[in-house]
Amino acid sequence: GNSVTQMEGPVTLSEEAFLTINCTYTATGYPSLFWYVQYPGEGLQLLLKATKADDKGSNKGFEATYRKETTSFHLEKGSVQVSDSAVYFCAPLADSSYKLIFGSGTRLLVRP
Amino acid sequence: DTGVSQDPRHKITKRGQNVTFRCDPISEHNRLYWYRQTLGQGPEFLTYFQNEAQLEKSRLLSDRFSAERPKGSFSTLEIQRTEQGDSAMYLCASSSSGTRTDTQYFGPGTRLTVL
């Protein structure tokens, strides 16, 4: 079945550091891929998405590229801010379904 | 566009009681989803509707759980005879019907605590 693996957190960085959060998935097809973010005390928000191979999703300085050959969708940001502190979830769409398969989430803590 | 709303935001109940949660999707969205999120974990899919039809249910959705969307607008999720293991955040999301690339927009969730 479908699954997703995210790097374990917490990830602690200093402000302006480079961020990478790894995400790999299993699927029989080519699912749409999503990153959601959950800020403290808030609901899930879409951060970015990619719908086909080699697509790059981007938003708020975050980027992720759909890598079909490695079944990966790693999240990157060149310079993190304290306000980026949150939990980040990678989520592909399941095969032949409309449900999202979420990873366990990666908590990011950015220190001033 | 007021976003997905859920009611109540918090619910505390005693084991064995029944609870019902409501979700109001974004008005033009005809797909509606329920997920459950336990502490420190990612959301897990429970069920989804397209209009009023319930098209998929997870094995997580035991016989004590029932979801409805009678007029294809709001949805309710009922849990009968609650157990302590039902304590979680229940999330609702909605999307429009176009394609499988449609983004799911999430509500703030209902946090259930079963004592």
Q: Are A86 and A19 in contact (CB under 8 A)?
A: no
AA identity, residue B20: T
Report the pLDDT averaged over residues A80-108: 92
Mark yes or no for CB contact B105/A34 under 8 Å.
no
pLDDT attached to residue B98: 63
pLDDT attached to residue A8: 85
Q: What are B113's two structure tokens?
A: 């605590």
Q: What are B55's two structure tokens?
A: 């098209």
3-state secondary structure of A82: helix
Residue-wise pLDDT for A14-37, tens only, equals: 999 999 999 999 988 888 999 999
> To which H or E segment does residue A52 belong?
none
Nearest Cα of chain B lies from the Cα of A44 at a distance, in angstroms, of: 6
pLDDT above 90: percentage of residues in chain B: 78
Worst-scoring range by mean pLDDT, B27-31, B65-69, B109-113?
A: B27-31
Q: Cα–Cα distance between B8 and A42 in angstroms, integer?
A: 15
Q: What does the mean pLDDT of chain A come to? A: 93
Nearest Cα residue in chain A from B56: A97
Nearest Cα of chain B lies from the Cα of A109 at a distance, in angstroms, of: 15
Backbone Cα Rg of chain A:
13
Residue-wise pLDDT for B1-57, tens only, equals: 579 999 999 999 999 999 999 999 998 899 999 999 998 899 999 999 999 999 999
Mark yes or no for CB contact B56/A103 under 8 Å.
no
Residue B18: which residues within 8 A CB-CB, separation 6 or more?
Answer: B78, B79, B80, B81, B82
Whether residue A75 is predicted with pLDDT greater than 90 in this model: the reply is: yes
Q: Are B77 and B65 in contact (CB under 8 A)?
A: yes
Q: Cα–Cα distance between B54 and B77 in angstroms, integer?
A: 12
Whether residue A101 is predicted with pLDDT greater than 90 in this model: the reply is: yes
pLDDT above 90: percentage of residues in chain A: 77
Q: What are A46's two structure tokens?
A: 């879409």
Q: Are A40 and A52 in contact (CB under 8 A)?
A: no
Whether residue B100 is predicted with pLDDT greater than 70 in this model: the reply is: no
